[in-house]
Homo-oligomer: A and B are copies of this chain.
Amino acid sequence: MTALPPGATIGILGGGQLGRMLSVAASRLGYKTCVFEPAGDCPASHVANFHLQAGYDDVGALARFADAVDVVTYEFENIPTSALDALEARRPIRPGRRALAVSQDRLTEKAFLTDLGLTCAPFRDIPDLAALQAALADLGTPAILKTRRLGYDGKGQVRIDSADQAGAAFDAMAGADAILEGFVDFQREVSVIAARGLSGEVVCYDPGENVHRDGILRTTTVPATLTASQRMDAALLAGRILNALDYVGVMGVELFVTPGGLVVNEVAPRVHNSGHWTQAGCAVDQFEQHIRAVAGLPLGDGQRQVDVVMENLIGDDMDRLPDLLAAPATQVHLYGKAEVRAGRKMGHVNRFTAA
């Protein structure tokens, strides 16, 4: 277990805003970056040393990418298995494949978490309409039917408010494997951004309190409204997940806070939108923490120094940019996306609030 020396190259699969901010963090530590991304002029390509523009099915390009880098990481979890196979033969992939397997499939994820003794929303595998009807009878409504794979930002999900909506909801899955999740009556949503180093050390950032709208994260506030024991529980369960996966890197763990305790909503094996506040609040932010982990460096100090509210800039939120740039105690982060589209994450702001 040796740390990558300054000047080494970190390969990043995915060229979006997370890859962009990972690339900047890598540069801060003296590393070079190579971004693998099919799209041209992508956010990460603006700040990376190299951009390898090719598809995830291009085995030759993946091999060249692997040969050009010292370690491979990623900004999204839905990387095709064949691409991982091609890469793993040549370079370490961090976080490892077990984390990807767990997070790529909601059914596998829930089974893993439940096996660990953690509480998830009640769930049922839904191979067919009959299974959905039985599950609805069992779990009741409201409930949410979700594709097992490839869902994000509220996509691939249908809320079911009564049993007679079962047929339409099942059809909306368009034949994709699905699971039904029972309703969790939560008081608030929080997330823990946790990191595990190559040597097994684990650190957690202070939990953030999240507000979603239309399935998309709008704001994260730190500190979250949590009791001391909930705060401790959140860190302990995140640590349990990371250790069980022999994880290396940063993970986002989304939690529901309920009167009965913390319920794990989902895990993301990567830096997470709800961790962007760490750019303003900590000596070492989640992006650098992830780079430190995958590079084999010691983890950095993620202690929260100030209170922060992070707000995503989505679609025409960009019209507010002149005001945001002039606002006190406010950091603006833009992603360099050429086109503003409804629902598209264009940037975020971190606001210092009274400590």
**Interfacial residues, chain A to chain B (CB-CB below 8 A):** 3, 6-7, 20, 23-24, 27-32, 45-47, 49, 280, 283-284, 292, 297-298, 300-301, 303, 305-306, 321-322, 325-336, 338, 347, 350, 352
Please indicate the chain B residues that have their CB under 8 angstroms from the CB of A301 in the complex. Answer: 327-330
Please indicate the chain B residues that have their CB under 8 angstroms from the CB of A24 in the complex. Answer: 24, 27, 47
Separation of A336 and B162 alpha carbons in the complex (Å): 59
Task: Kindly list 16 other residue pairs between chains A and B, CB separation below 8 angstroms, not including A32-B46, A283-B350.
Answer: A3-B322, A6-B321, A6-B334, A23-B47, A24-B27, A27-B47, A29-B332, A30-B335, A47-B47, A283-B330, A283-B352, A301-B328, A301-B330, A305-B305, A305-B329, A305-B352
Please indicate the chain B residues that have their CB under 8 angstroms from the CB of A28 in the complex. Answer: 332-334
- Measured between C-beta atoms, what is the minimum distance from A178 to chain B in Å? 38
- Measured between C-beta atoms, what is the minimum distance from A219 to chain B in Å? 17
Pair B283/A334 contact, Cβ less than 8 Å: no
Could you pull out 30 A-B pairs where Cβ atoms are within 8 angstroms?
A6-B321, A6-B334, A23-B47, A24-B27, A24-B47, A27-B336, A28-B332, A28-B333, A28-B334, A29-B332, A29-B334, A30-B334, A30-B335, A30-B347, A32-B46, A32-B336, A280-B283, A283-B328, A283-B331, A283-B350, A284-B331, A292-B325, A298-B325, A301-B327, A301-B328, A301-B330, A303-B328, A305-B306, A305-B329, A306-B306
Separation of A336 and B47 alpha carbons in the complex (Å): 14
- Measured between C-beta atoms, what is the minimum distance from A8 to chain B in Å? 11
Separation of A306 and B304 alpha carbons in the complex (Å): 12
Pair A303/B329 contact, Cβ less than 8 Å: yes
Q: Which of B6, B280, B300, B303 contacts A336 (CB 8 A)?
A: B6
- Measured between C-beta atoms, what is the minimum distance from A25 to chain B in Å? 10
Which chain B residue has the least Cβ–Cβ distance from A279? B28
Please indicate the chain B residues that have their CB under 8 angstroms from the CB of A305 in the complex. Answer: 305-306, 329, 352
